[in-house]
Amino acid sequence: MTEFGANYSIRDEIRDFWSERAATFDQSVGHEIFSEAERRGWHGLIRRHLGEGKGRAALDLASGTGVISHLMNDMGFKVTGVDWSEAMLEQARAKAKQRGTDIRFIMRDAENTQEPRGSYDVITNRHLVWTLVDAPAAFREWFELLKPGGKLLIVDGNMGRKSWVTRLRLAFGGKAGHGNLAPGMSERLQRIREQVHFSGDMPAEAVVAALVATGFVHPVIDRRLGAIHWPQARKMPFWRALERLSQDRFAICVTKPEIS
């Protein structure tokens, strides 16, 4: 169990929370991919917004065990995956070795990557934005990492907003919680949620507004994620499947302007 002290920050809590989940992270539907139908759905989403890789440099932020990194690698991107948790990176490196990929996995803070400015054609992240302590600083960092004309693809959701399915389940005596988290982990996750930048609702429009304020252009909000969510739902228990299909999940794509 993690010990909390006076110098234990929210960033430490985020790192340790995900480190403790690393060993079993890939066992959950919605984390690792469990069907070719879902894999095709992800490839379709990436292709729709970023095109084919063709050797272009991609940075996968908060890469975790490398799920999105491998999807990008499948499509021909030259991928660097970064994560704040060494435990997650150990899983990612083992997976890359097993699959024979050349993905580079390094430990970095997504809000301060220390990567060279203007060195990436595309940046991706999944379920990262809601964990950002300083979202405006992170968005500035990502803007600077992209080459002119580079694209940022965010996949996330407004998890602070209860769907009609969640409200119905709770009304009929269902327990509040977060999936299959172990005892005590739901409380830790809630404590994290209360301290991050998007501590309440996180509508896609609010994320886009912050990205545009950073300098990104041509924002696209894409909620056409059924090709991913339906295959996931088919492998979930009834209520979790309904919640997955009713939640406000989205992809956002923005572009760094070309040099005029």
Predicted confidence (pLDDT) per residue in 86-106, tens digit: 999 999 999 999 999 999 999
The helix (H) or strand (E) run that includes residue 226 is helix 226-233
Q: Report the CATH number at residue 85.
A: 3.40.50.150
- Tens of pLDDT, residue by residue over 206-231, are 999 999 999 999 999 999 999 999 99
pLDDT value of position 179: 55
Asked if the structure places residue 183 within a domain, the reply is: yes
pLDDT of res. 1: 42
Please write the tens of the pLDDT for every residue from 123-148: 999 999 999 999 999 999 999 999 99
Burial pattern 40-72, b for ≥16 Cβ within 10 A else e, equals ebbbebbeebbeebeebbbbbbbbbbbbbbbbb
Q: How confident is the model at residue 182 (pLDDT cuts 50, 70, 90)?
A: low
Residue 63 belongs to some domain of the structure: yes
**What is the per-residue pLDDT for 243?**
86
pLDDT score, position 191: 83
Q: Which amino acid is at 37?
A: A
**Neighbouring C-beta atoms of residue 167, cutoff 10 Å:** 12
pLDDT band per the 50, 70, 90 thresholds, residue 6 = low
Residue 164 has pLDDT above 70, yes or no: no
- Other Cβ atoms less than 10 A from the Cβ of 22: the count is 19
| pLDDT reported for residue 165 | 65
pLDDT score of 71 more than 50: yes
Task: Determine the structural domain holding residue 226 and report its residue range.
Answer: 10-255
Question: Does residue 52 form part of some domain?
Answer: yes
Domain assignment present for 1? no
Strand ranges inside 136-189, DSSP E: 146-157
232: in domain: yes
| Residue 5: inside a domain | no
Q: Alpha-carbon distance 43 to 35, whole Å?
A: 13
In contact, 67 and 1? CB cutoff 8 Å: no
Model pTM score: 0.90
Tell me, yes or no, whether 3 lies in a domain. Answer: no
Name the residue with higher pLDDT: 8 or 27. 27
- What's the total number of domains in the chain? 1
pLDDT in tens, 101-115: 999 999 999 999 999
Question: For residue 217, which amino acid is it?
Answer: V
192 falls within a domain: yes
